[in-house]
């Protein structure tokens, strides 16, 4: 509970840009650990270009928006889990529509701020935040997030073109006090020694550091929603649920 609001916990299953089966299973395990439900069915993992994955992801993206809108309508705190960060193409603009002054705290090893022009891999999950911020046209998904209200915490791996995009857009690491905050948590913000990751980056946080950061956000900001992605190991769900506890009281 936060501010008297109950939780609406939903795992979103289906294909976004899944390249492994582990993250979808991890998302489902975390949602069930938190007492939530599962919407959709597992998609087939495959290494595909963003131009194929974006249209294929539409059912999951639409389900994510529907879950957010339902949570807001009933006065609940939305908590979404999903296989990868691509859901933010839909979720972040949906949160802006509900809370125009929202700030996004992006907890991730990666910036996910590539565009079709800068991406070295064509991976949709590495381009999704830039899409939500309107840095490229994601085929009908409006990029309405003000990048100056996006705060990168724990990010330690940016491609050169992505770094330039992030600097030009005005992304920062400083979260102002007292603002409404939507938390995006990619589990690979944790160090690979704590949890295996599809795109492992050394030098990450441990669970105590994550819990402390989330507790600080609760103490200084108003949390309006949470999404958790890329939990590659289902067995780590209890550890991550414990780290999330400050957000979910």
Q: What is the pLDDT of residues 128-171, one digit of tens each?
A: 999 999 999 999 899 999 999 999 999 999 999 999 999 999 99
Looking at residues 114-118, what average pLDDT do you find?
A: 98
For residue range 171-204, what is the model confidence (pLDDT) as tens digits? 999 999 999 999 999 999 999 999 989 899 999 9
Tokens of 236: 């780590």
Cβ distance 183 to 247 under 8 Å?
A: yes
At residue 5 the predicted structure's pLDDT band, cuts being 50, 70 and 90, is low
pLDDT, tens only, 23-82: 999 999 999 999 999 999 999 999 999 999 999 999 999 999 999 999 999 999 999 999
Q: CA 63, CA 80: separation in Å to the nearest integer?
A: 11
β 37-39/222-229 pair status: unpaired
Please compute the mean of the pLDDT values over residues 210-231 and round it to a whole number. Answer: 97
What pLDDT score does 102 carry? 98
Q: Check residue 249 and give its pLDDT.
A: 81
Domains in the chain (CATH in brackets) are: 7-248 (3.40.800.10)
Residue 119, CA distances (Å) to 102, 108, 114 in order: 27, 17, 5
Average pLDDT value for residue range 105-133 = 98
Decide if pLDDT at 1 tops 90: no
């Amino acid at each position: 509970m936060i501010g008297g609001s109950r939780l609406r916990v939903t795992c979103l299953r289906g294909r976004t840009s899944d390249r492994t089966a582990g993250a979808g299973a991890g998302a489902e395990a975390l949602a069930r650990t938190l007492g939530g439900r599962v919407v959709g069915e597992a998609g087939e993992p495959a290494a595909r270009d963003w131009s194929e994955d974006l249209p294929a992801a539409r059912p999951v993206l639409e389900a994510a928006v529907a879950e957010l809108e339902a949570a807001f309508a009933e006065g609940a705190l939305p908590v979404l889990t999903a296989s990868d960060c691509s859901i933010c193409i839909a979720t972040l603009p949906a949160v802006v529509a509900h809370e125009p002054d929202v700030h996004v705290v992006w907890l991730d090893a990666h910036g996910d701020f590539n565009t079709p022009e800068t991406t070295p891999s064509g991976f949709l999950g590495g381009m999704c935040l830039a899409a939500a911020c309107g840095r490229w046209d994601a085929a009908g998904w409006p990029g309405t997030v003000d990048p100056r209200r996006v705060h990168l915490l724990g990010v330690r791996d940016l491609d050169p073109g992505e770094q330039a995009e992030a600097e030009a857009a005005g992304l920062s690491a400083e979260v102002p006090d007292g603002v409404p905050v939507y938390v995006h948590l990619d589990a690979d913000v944790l160090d690979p020694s704590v949890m295996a990751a599809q795109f492992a980056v050394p030098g990450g946080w441990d669970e105590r550091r994550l819990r402390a950061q989330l507790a600080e956000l609760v103490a200084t900001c108003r949390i309006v929603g949470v999404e958790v992605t890329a939990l590659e190991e289902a067995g780590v769900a209890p550890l991550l649920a414990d780290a999330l506890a400050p957000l979910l009281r």
